[in-house]
Amino acid sequence: MRIAELFFSVQGEGLLLGVPSAFVRTTGCPLRCVWCDSPYTSWQPEGETISIEAILDRLAVYPTKYVVVTGGEPLVAAGIEELCQSLRQAGYHITIETAAIVYSPVACDLASLSPKLSNSTPHHREGGRYALKHDQQRLRPDVIRAFMSQGDYQLKFVVEHESDIGEILALLDQLPPVRSDRVLLMPQGITSDALRDRGPWIAEWCKRHGFRFCPRLHIELFGNRRGT
Ligand code: SF4
Mutate to test the pocket of ligand 1, among 26, 31, 101 (most ligand atoms within 8 A of CB): 31
Kindly report whether the peptide bond that precedes residue 72 is cis, defined as omega within 30 degrees of 0.
yes
User: What pLDDT, on a 0 to 100 scale, did the predictor assign at position 4?
Assistant: 98
Element (DSSP H or E) covering residue 150: helix 141-150
Q: How confident is the model at residue 28 (pLDDT cuts 50, 70, 90)?
A: very high
Q: Using the 8-state DSSP alphabet, how is residue 211 labeled?
A: P
Characterize 38-74 residue by residue with b for buried, 16 or more Cβ atoms within 10 angstroms of its Cβ, and e for exposed.
Answer: bebbbbebebeebebeebbebbeebebebbbbbbbbb
Ligand 1 centre distance from Cα of residue 32 (Å): 6
Kindly give the pairing relationship between strand 66-70 and strand 48-49: unpaired
CA 38/CA 228 separation, integer angstroms: 12
pLDDT digits (tens, 9 = 90+) for 219-228: 999 999 999 9
26: number of CA atoms within 13 Å, CB side?
A: 25
Atom of ligand 1 nearest to the CA of 138: 1
Atom of ligand 1 nearest to the CA of 32: 5
117 lines ligand 1 (CB under 6 A): no
Ligand 1 centre distance from Cα of residue 209 (Å): 26
Question: Strand, helix or coil at 81?
Answer: helix
Ligand 1 centre distance from Cα of residue 139 (Å): 13
CA 191/CA 223 separation, integer angstroms: 7
CB 179 within 8 A of CB 155: no
pLDDT digits (tens, 9 = 90+) for 87-146: 999 999 999 999 999 999 999 999 999 999 999 999 999 999 999 999 999 999 999 999
Residue-averaged pLDDT of the chain = 97
pLDDT digits (tens, 9 = 90+) for 66-104: 999 999 999 999 999 999 999 999 999 999 999 999 999
Show the domains of the chain with their CATH numbers: 2-222 (3.20.20.70)
